[in-house]
């Protein structure tokens, strides 16, 4: 558990302060109730913890199912070197963001209800999403377990879990495609509350498509940071393909963003909401579509064409900001848009969100520095199941 390297770095000091204060706020929340730290009420039961931690966070974690699909289903072995890093990021994201749901529940002890079927509507979308989250976390753990076995030196178990990889990948991809759209399906029941420019019966499809470029943009963004932060432990394969991978993923992002923009245009035409574009909400909608969909899409096309990593990084950052804006528009900003007393998250809600993210980064870094994620596998593990 001992940290590797200098401990009192600016990042460590800042995040430690965030974590210590955040833990105190979490204790306050569980002692005095959810109303003691949030601005949620009976009219606005879902706030930033759902809109950002879950709805947005799960989209950012989608890189795991996309990359494993590319490698294990389509056979694109050039992405093999980033599989473990993306699966680890996805697994930690689901663990921490699903765990953050405990904070959002008025009666957190009832989080087990979907699992044990205790007076829970089995036909509800929430039941579907809850089981998908649980099963997908298990699938991701199996996908990442070869790295754990190599770290522990358990050769027999490494061979066993390696043989389970393809099955868990197929199972995980199936679950991902369902619950990415399932999160969108939750908002189908809120037609009267979501602004018409953001509500559509195609929200599940839009959530699924946007999860592809959201997840891959996060992979590109985090990949650049990881290669700088962990350059001293990068394996041979990681160094070989570090420049080619962003270009390949950028090409996929550009294509899926074009599909997403085309679908959004069809939805706008089908709903006949052109008149709303001249309102203040319409201006905000155009900012989202032009500034955070069209602009990064063209940047991705340009970056791929010229193989310019700086442009690809800029496109990834703008895309991630756009996904945050879109998901928060649907779940928070344009939700109850007609209310005279709109929901604004308290500083405690924002601080606790920062706490969850900080702890996740610490966990990610701890694993990266110790397990063969970015570094090469031990010699005895090479070739066991085709992984390198």
Average pLDDT rounded to a whole number, residues 373-386: 78
Whether 87 and 63 have beta carbons less than 8 Å apart is answered as no
In this structure, is residue 11 part of a structural domain? no
**In which domain, by residue range, is 189 found?**
28-374
The pLDDT tens digits of the residues spanning 204-226 come to 999 999 999 999 999 999 988 88
Is 157 within a domain? yes
Domain annotation covers residue 114: yes
Residue 333 lies in a domain: yes
**334 within domain boundaries:** yes
Mean pLDDT of 8-37: 94
**Does 242 have pLDDT greater than 80?**
no
At 388, the pLDDT band (50, 70, 90 cuts) reads very low
Residue 310, judged by CB atoms within 10 A of its CB (0-12, 13-18, 19+), counts as exposed
Query: What are the start-end ranges of the H helices in the chain?
Result: 10-32, 48, 57-60, 63-68, 83-104, 113-116, 125-152, 155-163, 165-185, 203-229, 236-241, 244-271, 280-286, 295-306, 309-328, 347-370
Find all residues with CB under 8 Å of 132, minimum gap 6, and list them: 175, 178, 179, 182
Residue 382 has pLDDT above 90, yes or no: no
| The pair of three-digit structure tokens given for residue 306, joined into one six-digit string | 């010229």
The two three-digit tokens of residue 26, written as one number: 């979490």
Q: Is residue 177 part of a domain?
A: yes
- The span from the CA of 60 to the CA of 176, in Å, is 12
Per-residue pLDDT tens over the stretch 136-177: 999 999 999 999 999 999 999 999 998 999 999 999 999 988
Whether 388 is covered by a domain: the verdict is no
Instruction: Tell whether the model's pLDDT for residue 2 goes beyond 80.
Output: no
What does pTM read for this prediction?
0.92
d(CA 317, CA 64): 18
Helix (H, G, I), strand (E, B) or coil at 251: helix
Structural domains of the chain, count:
1
d(CA 154, CA 148): 9
Residue 381 lies in a domain: no
**SS3 category, 194:** strand
pLDDT tens digits along 311-325? 999 999 999 999 999
Both tokens assigned to 387: 């992984």
101 or 388, which is more confident: 101
Q: Give backbone dihedrals phi and psi of 154, rounded to 5 degrees, phi first.
A: -95, 90
**In angstroms, rounded to a whole number, what is the distance separating the alpha carbons of residues 93 and 101?**
12
Dist CA 45 CA 343 (whole Å): 10
Residues contacting residue 38 through CB under 8 Å, at least 6 positions apart: 29, 47, 49, 345, 346, 348, 349
Asked if the model's pLDDT at residue 264 lies above 90, the reply is yes
């Amino acid at each position: 558990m001992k940290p590797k390297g200098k401990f009192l770095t600016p990042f460590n000091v800042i995040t430690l302060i965030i974590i210590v204060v955040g833990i105190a706020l979490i204790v306050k929340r569980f002692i005095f109730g959810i109303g003691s730290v949030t601005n949620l009420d009976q009219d606005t039961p879902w706030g930033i913890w759902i809109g950002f931690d879950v709805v947005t966070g799960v989209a950012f974690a989608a890189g795991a199912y996309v990359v494993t699909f590319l490698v294990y289903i389509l056979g694109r072995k050039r992405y093999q070197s980033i599989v473990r890093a993306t699966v680890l990021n996805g697994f930690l994201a689901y663990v921490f963001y699903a765990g953050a749901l405990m904070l959002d529940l008025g009666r957190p002890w009832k989080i087990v209800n979907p699992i044990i079927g205790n007076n829970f509507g089995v036909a509800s979308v929430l039941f579907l999403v809850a089981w998908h989250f649980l099963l997908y976390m298990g699938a991701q753990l199996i996908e990442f377990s070869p790295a754990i076995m190599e770290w522990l030196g358990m050769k027999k178990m490494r061979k066993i879990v390696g043989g389970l990889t393809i099955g868990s990948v197929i199972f995980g991809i199936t679950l991902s495609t369902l619950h990415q759209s399932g999160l969108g399906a939750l908002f189908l029941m809120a037609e009267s509350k979501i602004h018409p420019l953001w509500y559509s019966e195609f929200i599940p499809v839009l959530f699924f498509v946007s999860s592809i470029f959201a997840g891959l943009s996060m992979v590109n963004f985090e990949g650049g940071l990881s290669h700088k932060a962990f350059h001293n432990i990068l394996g041979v394969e990681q160094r070989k393909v570090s420049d080619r991978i962003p270009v390949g993923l950028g090409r996929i992002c550009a294509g899926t963003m074009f599909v997403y923009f085309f679908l959004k245009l069809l939805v706008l035409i089908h709903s006949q909401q052109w008149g709303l574009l001249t309102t203040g909400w319409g201006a905000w909608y155009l900012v989202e579509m032009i500034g955070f969909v069209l602009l990064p899409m063209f940047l991705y096309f340009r970056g791929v064409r010229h193989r310019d990593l700086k442009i690809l990084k800029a496109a990834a950052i703008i895309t991630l900001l756009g996904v945050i804006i879109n998901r928060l528009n649907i779940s928070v900003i344009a939700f109850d848009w007609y209310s005279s007393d709109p929901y604004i998250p308290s500083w405690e809600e924002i601080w606790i969100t920062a706490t969850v993210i900080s702890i996740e980064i610490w966990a990610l870094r701890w694993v990266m520095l110790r397990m063969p994620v970015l570094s090469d596998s031990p010699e005895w593990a090479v070739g066991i199941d085709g992984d390198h």
